Amino acid sequence: MKGNKLQDYAGFSTVITFAVSERSLLRLSVYDVTARLITIPWTVSRRRKAFFILRVYIEKLIFF
């Protein structure tokens, strides 16, 4: 269980770091976010989808 929690934390911090580092390069519109959500390959694991959606949400918080 401990290993999984560490993995989750590492993934979460990676998501935040990625969103922050992209801030100066990328300005997202509502349409971009919608397009990203639509084009998620839904065969990926639930955890990856959760991280993806979390990253989009963080980007929305940063950019809007």
DSSP state of 40: S
Domain limits at 14? 2-63
Q: How many CB atoms lie within 10 A of CB 40?
A: 13
In 10 A of CB 25, how many CB atoms?
A: 6
Domain count, the chain: 1
In sequence order, what are the residues at sequence separation of 6 or more whose Cβ sits closer than 8 angstroms to the Cβ of residue 20?
Answer: 62
pTM of the model: 0.28
Q: For residues 19 and 55, is the Cβ–Cβ distance under 8 A?
A: yes
pLDDT digits (tens, 9 = 90+) for 12-60: 555 555 555 555 445 555 556 666 666 655 556 666 777 777 787 777 7
What pLDDT shows up at residue 24?
47
